[in-house]
Amino acid sequence: MRLLLIAALFLLGIVFVANGIGFLLTPEQQAAGFGMGADGIQGLSTLRADMTAFFVVAGGALMWGAWRRAGDVLLVAAALVGIAFTGRFVSLLADGIYEGWWFPMGVEALTVVLALIGSRMLPHHAMKA
């Protein structure tokens, strides 16, 4: 069970990092898949910077936490993706549903649940001063 959890966390991390690299290299194409668009050069810069950062940090934390068996690192991914899930939930209440709304929320919910379970099952490493 533990090995399956670690594998799932690592694979999710790869997917997140791949999305981040996609935003870095081809922001307009990647953004279109997320229902977003860039408004000029500033918009492209924002997509490259912010979306790359979100996905690479979340994915990197998932991969690092799984690889190093470090439950504390998984909390970073859980927090980032949990906030994204909360934003989507608020948007559902404020703006209504859209076609396929459940898929990104399902991925985010799964990611948060697995990261939190991994955080509980894997050791937390004491920081050394």
| The residue to which tokens 């399956």 are assigned | 4
Rounded percentage of the chain residues whose pLDDT exceeds 70 = 97
For residue 6, pLDDT beyond 80: yes
Ranges of H-type helices in the chain? 2-25, 27-32, 40-46, 52-67, 71-95, 102-121
pLDDT band at 38 (very low <50, low <70, confident <90, very high): confident
> Domain spans of the chain?
2-121
Length of the chain: 129
User: What is the average pLDDT score of the chain?
Assistant: 95
Tell if the pTM clears 0.85, that is, is over it: yes
Give pLDDT tens digits for 87-108: 999 999 999 999 999 999 999 9
For residue 17, pLDDT beyond 80: yes
Q: For residue 106, give the amino acid letter.
A: G
108: left (phi over 0), alpha (psi -120 to 50) or beta: alpha
